[in-house]
Chains A and B, each alone.
Chain A
Amino acid sequence: MRDARLLVQALRDPDSLHDPDWSALVATARAEQLIGSLAARLAGKAVPPRVEAILESARRDSAYARTQALWEAEMCRRALAPLGMPAILLKGTAFHAADLDAAEGRSVGDLDILVPRDRIEEAEAALIAAGWERMKAAEGYDDQYYRRWMHELPPLIHHTRDRMIDVHHTILPLTARPRPDATALIADSVVLESGLRMLSPADMIVHAAAHLLADGDLAGGLRNLWDIDRLLREFAARDDDFWRKLAERSRLHQLRGPVALALRLARRLYGTPVDRVVAGRTRLGDRLFEARLLARNGWGQERHKALRFAFYIRSHWLRMPPLMLARHLWVKARA
């Protein structure tokens, strides 16, 4: 297997698998952090006993990831509760807290939350009082870089639970060209049972698209695109007006291009039903993105080094104006 197409096929249409190379499928899924999602998609299907055991282990891992993610969110809620400020869960933790389809089998790394920019230091102090600590590596250049140019505080780590929290005040670095409207993100957020909040459905897609395409080198892209597929299917089924809202919010946050591209890629790879107008017309470059997303073979190895490098350069260019990029690389090189 020369690329990750088998994994994409298995997620998109699990019934279409006929005696596939299971070892390759499992290795690719693990490398792309999609083994939990694959296990959820194949639940109840007839698979060989060893595959069932592998998938059962993945389900156990997912259950643990969910417990941990929800617990970190809960401990964060307890720490911030006395401040009475809106705290919005982002990414995987939000999917789990709201029990969205995208949460099925979804692993979660750090806890990401969004708070109003003018209260971010207050939030940081409350978290530190509740046992989170600044990380050593965050001192010096990196710390200043974060505070001046990033969309988040330097990460904090909890001293006994050893889990990280990223406190954001918007969803893209300030150095990036698009300027999402953070006030609108917070104003439109939806309250959850616990009192914590999540982004509105349309904003959640805008954030996922920004995260996939406007902030990073597409590493882990198949997983992020799978999130988008699951979210789009669920939101569109729930709300007849969803596509109009998505068009409006992507314009508001200056992210029409990334949202449209994310929709086209989701349709192309996962067969996601998307609104033709919001997705826009297919462009020549779409195929490059597709090739980059699939650049992984059946041994879990990265393929297409040149293409990967091109996207790496693109990611730094996206985040920083050229002069700042030069300064960043210079400081990094001397470190």
Chain B
Amino acid sequence: MRHRLAFQVGPVAFRIGSAWRAPIDALGALYAGYPEPEDGICDFTVRLEPEQPWRRWLRPSVAIRGDYMLPDAMPMALAHGLLAAEMGMNLQMALGQKRYLLLHAASVEKGGRSLILTGESGAGKSTLAALLGERGWRLMGDEFALLDLASGALHPFPRAVSLKNGAIAVVEREVIPTRFGPRLDGTPKGAIRHMRPAADALQRMGEGAPPALILFPRFGVAEEVRPVGQAEIFMRLTQASTNYVALGAAGFDALTRLVSETPAAAIDYPDTDAAVALVEDLWRQAA
């Protein structure tokens, strides 16, 4: 392909090819400091290409393609090419990742042990993880947590954090401007701004950590901590995993082990400061 970029996020190497220069330039700036694939070999290929040949120039629209694709994926405006690249990478992980049990979850690390934050989209796990990453924790990832099938440890996947709408201003207050990508308005998910994680998240992206606590956060409700039964946790985590079924017995063993050995709770919180305080409190009890 005409324009291309390859880099590694945690244990996963991507190559992104594009028919246009702009998305690759934006991606290169956002992912500055990420290592090149160690051996030049990539796990996944993402392609940004015109939906039809003439749409390269005429009202350019970006089709998100690659090793794994959704047949009915909507093309995106070229101005949102960076988001298209991110979505393409996420899609490869969601559909193609079979090396680890993939949980749709954010994760952070402290003292060599990890905290898993999972919940429905909009529950605030991305924002919460991003803030914890600026306040003494190491951000392991805001979107996917990779559970090792053999060791049970969590591997980092510190892609650029995807901040949406109201969360953008909350995080902008705490992070230097050079770590942000451009603000993208009017995307299918509203306003989006990507943020490169802090330096330690990048330097230690090869370092996993065993899980010590699972939290199901919910934003916008009065503060509360609720216990969750193990069978319910198991069910919620299978729903939060895109590859649980495909991993067969290995996935079952890894997930039942995680649920049996790791304390968990559901937390409701009215604002992010309350959430951070709650997390620190529960972490002290679990540790």
How far does the alpha carbon of A299 sit from the alpha carbon of B97 in the complex, in Å?
18
Residue of A nearest to B247 (CB): A60
How far does the alpha carbon of A63 sit from the alpha carbon of B71 in the complex, in Å?
24
Residue of A nearest to B1 (CB): A299
Q: Which of A50, A60, A63 contacts B43 (CB 8 A)?
A: A50
Q: For A299, list chain B residues within 8 Å (CB).
A: 1, 17, 45, 47
Q: For A305, list chain B residues within 8 Å (CB).
A: 53
Q: Across the interface, do A50 and B39 meet the contact criterion of CB distance under 8 Å? A: yes
**Cβ of B156 under 8 Å from chain A:** no
**Cβ of A309 under 8 Å from chain B:** no
Q: Across the interface, do A50 and B13 meet the contact criterion of CB distance under 8 Å? A: yes
B84 shortest CB reach to chain A, Å: 16
Q: For A30, list chain B residues within 8 Å (CB).
A: 67-68, 96
Q: Which of A23, A57, A60, A301 contacts B42 (CB 8 A)?
A: A23
How far does the alpha carbon of A30 sit from the alpha carbon of B68 in the complex, in Å?
8
**Cβ of A64 under 8 Å from chain B:** yes
Q: Across the interface, do B68 and A300 meet the contact criterion of CB distance under 8 Å? A: no
Count of chain B residues with a beta carbon within 8 Å of a chain A beta carbon: 28
Residue of A nearest to B67 (CB): A30
**Cβ of A53 under 8 Å from chain B:** yes
Q: Which of A27, A48, A67 contacts B248 (CB 8 A)?
A: A67
Q: Across the interface, do B98 and A301 meet the contact criterion of CB distance under 8 Å? A: no
- Given contacts A50-B41, A56-B99, is CB(A61)–CB(B67) below 8 Å? no
Q: For A31, list chain B residues within 8 Å (CB).
A: 67
**Cβ of A54 under 8 Å from chain B:** yes
Q: Across the interface, do B246 and A23 meet the contact criterion of CB distance under 8 Å? A: no
**Cβ of A51 under 8 Å from chain B:** yes
Q: For B37, list chain A residues within 8 Å (CB).
A: 50
**Cβ of B250 under 8 Å from chain A:** yes
How far does the alpha carbon of A246 sit from the alpha carbon of B67 in the complex, in Å?
37
| Binary CB contact string for chain B from 25 to 38 against chain A (1 if under 8 A, 0 otherwise) | 00000000000011
Q: Across the interface, do A64 and B67 meet the contact criterion of CB distance under 8 Å? A: no
Q: Which of A23, A51, A60, A67 contacts B45 (CB 8 A)?
A: A23
Q: Across the interface, do A50 and B38 meet the contact criterion of CB distance under 8 Å? A: yes
Q: Which of A18-48 contact B (CB under 8 A)?
A: 22-23, 26-27, 30-31, 48
Q: For A56, list chain B residues within 8 Å (CB).
A: 99
**Cβ of B268 under 8 Å from chain A:** no
Residue of A nearest to B100 (CB): A57
Residue of B nearest to A56 (CB): B99
Residue of A nearest to B17 (CB): A299
Q: For B196, list chain A residues within 8 Å (CB).
A: none
Q: Which of B223-268 contact A (CB under 8 A)?
A: 245-248, 250
**Cβ of B109 under 8 Å from chain A:** no
Q: Across the interface, do B246 and A61 meet the contact criterion of CB distance under 8 Å? A: yes
Q: Across the interface, do B47 and A60 meet the contact criterion of CB distance under 8 Å? A: no
Q: For B49, list chain A residues within 8 Å (CB).
A: 301
Residue of B nearest to A63 (CB): B248
Q: Across the interface, do B248 and A301 meet the contact criterion of CB distance under 8 Å? A: no
How far does the alpha carbon of A26 sit from the alpha carbon of B37 in the complex, in Å?
15
How far does the alpha carbon of A27 sit from the alpha carbon of B41 in the complex, in Å?
11
Q: Which of A62-86 contact B (CB under 8 A)?
A: 63-64, 67
How far does the alpha carbon of A27 sit from the alpha carbon of B53 in the complex, in Å?
21
How far does the alpha carbon of A216 sit from the alpha carbon of B13 in the complex, in Å?
36
**Cβ of B66 under 8 Å from chain A:** yes
How far does the alpha carbon of A48 sit from the alpha carbon of B38 in the complex, in Å?
11
B149 shortest CB reach to chain A, Å: 9
Q: Which residues of A contact B (CB under 8 A)?
A: 22-23, 26-27, 30-31, 48-51, 53-54, 56-58, 60-61, 63-64, 67, 299-301, 305
Known contacts A50-B43, A60-B247; 16 additional CB pairs below 8 A are A23-B15, A23-B40, A23-B45, A26-B45, A30-B96, A53-B99, A57-B98, A57-B99, A60-B246, A60-B250, A61-B98, A299-B17, A300-B45, A300-B65, A300-B67, A301-B49
Q: Identify the 4 closest CB pairs spanning chains A and B, nearest first.
A: A57-B98, A27-B45, A23-B42, A30-B67
25 A-B pairs (CB sep. < 8 Å): A22-B41, A23-B42, A26-B42, A26-B67, A27-B67, A31-B67, A50-B13, A50-B37, A50-B38, A50-B39, A50-B41, A53-B99, A54-B43, A57-B99, A60-B246, A60-B247, A60-B248, A61-B98, A61-B246, A63-B248, A64-B245, A300-B66, A301-B47, A301-B49, A305-B53
